[in-house]
Amino acid sequence: MAEKKVMLDSGIEIDPLYTKADVKPELPGQFPYTRGVHEGMYRDKPWTMRQYAGFSTPEESNARYHFLLNQGVTGLSVAFDLPTQIGYDSDDPLANGEVGKVGVAIDSIEDMERLFKGINLENVSTSMTINASGFILLALYIALAKRQGADIKKIAGTIQNDILKEYAARGTYIYPPKPSMRLITDIFEYCSKEVPKWNTISISGYHIREAGSTAVQELAFTLANGKAYLKAAIEKGLDINVFAKRLSFFFNAHNHLFEEVAKFRAARRIWANITKDLGATSPDAQKLRFHTQTGGSTLTAQQPMNNIVRVTIQTLAATLGGTQSLHTNGFDEALSLPTEQAASIALRTQQIVAEESGICDTVDPFAGSYYIETLTNKVEEEALNLIGKIDAMGGAVDAIEQGFIQEQIAASSYKYTQAIERNEKIIVGVNKYQSKEMSKTPIMKIDDSIQKMQVDRLTQFKQNRDQDKVKQMLNLIIEKSSSSENLMPIVIEAVEAHCTLGEIAHALRSVWGEYRA
């Protein structure tokens, strides 16, 4: 009788048995940080519990933030609508039909003030999922902190700001790669001096995985992008031992518990060696810190309550893998934006795991597992092989421009879909254990009247400002965009002068143009 063969989606073969010979002992808090970036990990401090939220108007999102804070959330994560993500104001014809739909609409400093009304920015950590227009949203956040009287050296949070994965997997880019990379290094430089507690980029594997990559590809492509950002900053003359301390990562958590844990452990080890090879000597510059979100693409519209179980498994994977913060998806997110009930259950999932499962009792509970240690080594080996191919092409930017990364993701996505269609991969409720009952799950709908409200408010905002000052600031942005001067102070001054997000984005479009794949 032939021995059963077990393969992961990443192509790694799983042996039926692992032994002590497969294990190499390491300690947490020590290079290469496989077992965790801190010696005490969750014994000292549990992960930050975030809930990703943003929809409709700033007031509606603000109400959800207050609800989540009252439920025990320890950090906010902001979702922006599509026009905001790609640099269009709510009154732009290209924004029609999309205002407030997949996130909150933010056009101006007044919108940002409404979004965080009653929330002291010195007392909360805020993560903003924004990329191409991320520099403008960060400027708005800093400007609001200054309005509140906060010391901007004390405000903490993360801006995603990862444009390379937009070219590779997601598509919400604005400018060509070179000027986009310039904006990112401008943020590195500005924040290292002025906003030292801010994580200046969250290098994102999440959307790479959502686009259909395997776990190994998610890891390899994300770290290759990270390597490209390191090199760009070094070329700008920045000190890796300073700016690399504020880099963070954003990974996906899927359902194969053991592969995901191995992925997170391998990520820390690979990144420690990448930074060391590029000259980092400070341990804080060598440590990979990451946020995790449970897998949106794993959620099913069929039997949606099953998603609570999936999210629980993914929560275990992220925390057993040593994440620094976590967002858990609502069970209804294959159908709509999460309702309050779904968001509350998602948060309670984290809290139950933290308080009742014993995960926080000891550092890296899976360490020493023959299986996990071997799988960590195999994931690392496969990821390094892919990173080597990307390096041979000239790095992540060249690999993206040649279409290599996009083709790899597309091929994996197709293979995965075929496996489900052939019943080689089982998705409960989809291709096995189906049920004929119709779902009665309530869904959240965003009313189309939101767009008119936002546009009317924006029209009034534009009428009540110093038009000469606005024109002066936009001309200054255009002028400085062709120089080597850091744009962040100018953009902050522009939003304080009531320039809108779309106006600033368009000013730079007039110089740099738009990227076309």
SS3 string of 424-486? Answer: CCCCECCCECCCCCCCCCCCECCCCHHHHHHHHHHHHHHHCCCHHHHHHHHHHHHHHCCCCCC
User: Poorest-confidence range of 121-135, 263-277, 428-442?
Assistant: 428-442
Residue 2 predicted with pLDDT over 60: no
Q: How many residues does the chain have?
A: 517
Counting DSSP H helices and E strands in the chain, the numbers are: 20, 11
Here the tokens at position 398 are 């060249």
In whole angstroms, give the CA distance from residue 188 to residue 400.
22
pLDDT at 443: 72
| Average pLDDT, rounded, for the chain | 93
User: Poorest-confidence range of 55-64, 218-227, 458-467?
Assistant: 55-64
Here the tokens at position 430 are 């989809």
Cβ-proximal residues to 345 (8 Å cutoff; 6+ apart), any chain: 308, 330, 331
Residue 514 predicted with pLDDT over 50: yes
The arrangement of strands across the sheet holding 125-129 comes to 198-199, 156-159, 125-129, 75-79, 48-53, 325-327, 290-294, 247-253, 201-204
Identify whether 283 is preceded by a cis peptide bond (ω within 30 of 0).
no
pLDDT at 444: 67
CB atoms closer than 10 angstroms to residue 488:
21
CB 304 within 8 A of CB 334: yes
Q: Answer with the residue of higher pLDDT: 342 or 441.
A: 342
Element (H, E) at 202: strand 201-204
Rg of the chain, C-alpha, whole Å: 23
In whole angstroms, give the CA distance from residue 223 to residue 204.
9
CB 34 within 8 A of CB 268: yes
Here the tokens at position 302 are 């069929």
Phi and psi at residue 347, in whole multiples of 5°? Answer: -70, -45
Q: For the segment 45-94, what is each residue's pLDDT rounded down to a tens digit?
A: 999 888 766 677 899 889 988 988 888 887 888 989 999 999 999 999 99
pLDDT at 4: 80
Is the whole model's pTM more than 0.85, yes or no?
yes
